[in-house]
Amino acid sequence: MNSNKVLSSLCYFSVFFAGFIFPIIVYFVSDDVNVKQHAKKAFISHIIPFITVVLFVILAVTVGAFNQGTLPDAIPGIIFIGIIIAGIINFIVVIWNIIKGIKVLKEGV
């Protein structure tokens, strides 16, 4: 098996063990154009869960700060919906990374 394929697939699988750090390191260390392309795609897909969590926290703080007296009963519902949406998005991203990692390993077999 080609080491470039393994390295490219590890960029996608790193969602489980190294987050977005591993694809960045591979991008700057590798000389192969294909590996760099996969590292960039993996990095972008690893950033998406981080962005959803940050947006959820900003939403929760904003709703809590601006609606202290007017909508106190709606705040837990909004937070719960935000958690559900972020969880679904993060689950989809993890599944997508698994599928992409397997496809990279199977290329040219």
d(CA 56, CA 81): 10
**Structure confidence at residue 107 (pLDDT):** 81
Task: Report how far apart, in Å, the C-alpha atoms of 93 and of each of 39, 47, 48, 73, 97 are.
Answer: 15, 10, 8, 32, 6
Looking at residues 83-88, what average pLDDT do you find? 88
Looking at residues 11-16, what average pLDDT do you find? 89
pLDDT in tens, 49-80: 888 888 888 877 777 666 665 556 666 777 78
**Structure confidence at residue 1 (pLDDT):** 55
Which of 49, 6, 45, 55 lies closest to 24 in space, CA to CA? 45
C-beta of residue 14 within 8 angstroms of C-beta of residue 22 = yes
State the chain's mean pLDDT as an integer: 84
Report which of residues 61 and 27 the model is more confident about.
27
